[in-house]
Each structure stands twice: as C-alpha cells, then as structure tokens.
Amino acid sequence: MARGRVVAVTGAGRGLGRAHALAFAAEGAKVVVNDLDVGREGEPGGAVAAGGAGFGAEGPGGPAAQVVAEIRARGGEAVAHGGDIATAQGAASLVDCALDAFGRLDTLVNNAGFLRDRMLVNLAEDDWDAVVRVHLKGHFLPLKHAAAYWRAEAKAGRRVAARVVNTSSGAGLAGSVGQGCYSAAKAGVLGLTLVAAAELDRYGVQVNAIAPAARTRMTEEVFARTMAAPGEGNFDAMAPENVSPLVVWLGSDASAGVTGRVFEAEGGRITVMEGWHPGPSADRGARWTPAEAGEAATGLLASARPPHPVYGAEPAP
C-alpha cells in the first residue's frame, strides 16, 4: 500500500512510533526513523537509563538505530535521524534527511512526545512548557518544514500526493485528570490539524489526526495488559501495532480525499470523531440581561447532550 513512499516518523524509537515505522517498512515504504532518545518525562539518555550502550539516538545503542536495523534485517530501507524536532533546525534537518537519503518526502507522521503528569496546583511552569513544546511545537515545526517543501514542489509543477498524520489523544478530545498540560497540547494538535488540512489542500497535502490508545512507556501505568477472550488468538488489545494499519492507510495514496479528519484507534476498533458541532441555540434578537442569559442557558443545557466525561474524573453522584 505504501510501496515506494518516503515516510518520516518522529519519536519512532519505541512504542507507537516504532510500530508505525515497522508497519510502513513492511508495506514497502522507505522510512526516516526519528528519535531523540529521552525518557518517559523527557529526561536525556533513555537508552542509557534502560541499560543501552549509550551511543545516542542514532548510534549503535540508540533506539532510532535499533529500529533502522530491524527494518534493514527484514529487507527494508531506513535511515536514523536523531534531531530535536521541536527546534527549527531539528525539524528542517528531518526533511533534509529524507531528501538526502531518498530524494523526496511523501508522508510525515508526527508522534514524538513525553509526559509530566501533575495535578494543576502541582504543575510547574517548566513542566507545562516542556510538554507543550514537544507535543504541540513538535508537531508544528516538522509540519511547517515539510509543507514548505511540498508547496515548492507543487509550484514547480510536480505532482504532490503528500500525507500528514498527527497524533492527538483521548486526553485532547475529552481531557484527563492529572494531565492538564498534555490534554491542552493534544487539543492543540487537533486545531492545528484542521487548519493545516484547510491551508495545504491546494498543494496536494492531506492532514489527518489519530487519537490512539495503546500500551507504551507513556501509558504503562494506565493500561494493564489486556487480552481478548479465548478463541480469538489471544489478541492483545493494547498492543501499539494495532494502531499502525490505520496510520499506514492514512499515510498512503489509498487515502486520497480524506483530510481534516480525526480517528480514535484502539485494539480492533476505529472510530471517526465528529468534533464540536452546534447544539441547542436561542436567539433573543437583542442583548440579554444576566438573569435572562442564565435562564436561556439553563434551558439549552436541559436539551443538550451531556459532555463526554473527563478521563479519571469522579463519577457524578
């Protein structure tokens, strides 16, 4: 399905990113495997902390190099990239890496991120900045530099059939207690996806987002190992590999015409999310008084659908 396409995947040394990189390679894509090699909360030297050889993200002991080695061992083509995609230089070098190694870039999968879970009153400004930086800025900058390349290709008269797959979360869709910075960043990814899809369509670029649920370093404390009922092949519903087929499809020519959409993916389930839509409304034709506005809002709420519960919130009494 993705044969011959050049795909860059950020945060591809472990978890979902690794699964995506391997899945694209299995479908014949050439893959740029980006990973900065940091820990679960963004601390440096994740491979070293885990007992790796300590050669950095691209070196023999780094996670990006390990994924590249896996792909090559299976007959695929891949290169490692260890730049920080939340910097302009690192994001630009990601695109350059694809061009230098394979001559073009067709698909960008924005996946890199880490967590610093804190309740709001305990959330430090540095933690907020770090999480918003890696998730939101780390989506914006690779998208910006890839889009500039694709726009130049389109203006030069060359056919562009580019794909971007952004990574949001259920926390970005509904919120998650203890994850204020992560939820805000992932909600921002959704807004960025919608704008990018509208702006870049004229250049042949499709932009979509996924909200995956899978067992990774970031979620290992949330998800216990989940297996399907006997007789279904012991299906591991929380395996990150379950999410990758949708990502490969979105990143391929086969998804032509699909843009500006958000999909939840978990286990064997795929859901198209419908986002914010106008609900009940009242128009007085003139300015409300506070009392009148309150009365109108109360009536509208009575006929509106209840909001999706925030993950981890106490159930209503």
The DSSP code sequence of 36-55 is --B-TTS-B-HHHHTT----
Residue 279 CB contacts under 8 Å (≥ 6 apart), including other chains: 300, 304, 305
Q: How many residues does the chain have?
A: 317
Active site residues: 169, 182, 186
- The bridge status of strand 6-9 relative to strand 107-109 is parallel
State the CB neighbour count (10 A cutoff) for residue 77: 15
For 140, phi and psi rounded to 5 degrees?
-60, -50
The DSSP code sequence of 186-212 is HHHHHHHHHHHHHHHGGGTEEEEEEEE
- Please say whether the beta carbons of 168 and 190 come within 8 A: yes
